Amino acid sequence: MLLFRSEGHVSAWLAGRPPGATVPLPRLVELADAWYGDRLDPGWTPRTRAESQAILERLGLSGPFWELG
């Protein structure tokens, strides 16, 4: 889960390997907020898999690649 200067640098780094998924920075910001915003809450409880999947889907991260285990 890496941060690159641009999509061109992702392609160069992959050097022909099959890509995973590329996410624009503004969406990663939203994802980090939704995923981690409650991590230090005193009453934190674990999310279900379905709840985590819903976070991804709400941000447009759907399809087989984003299917949680």
CA proximity to 24, closest of 59, 57, 55, 53: 59
Q: How far is the CB of 8 from other proteins (least distance, A)?
A: 9
Among positions 16, 48, 50, 67, the unique one binding other proteins when judged by CB under 8 A = 67
Cα–Cα dist 34/53, whole Å? 12
CA distance linking residue 56 with residue 31, whole number of Å:
7
Contacts to other proteins from residues 11-40, by CB under 8 A: 12-13, 19-26, 28-29, 31-33, 35-37, 39-40
Look up residue 30 and give its two tokens.
Answer: 């939203």
Q: Which is nearer to other proteins, 40 or 50 (CB)?
A: 40
In the complex, least distance from residue 55 CB atom to other proteins, rounded to whole angstroms: 11
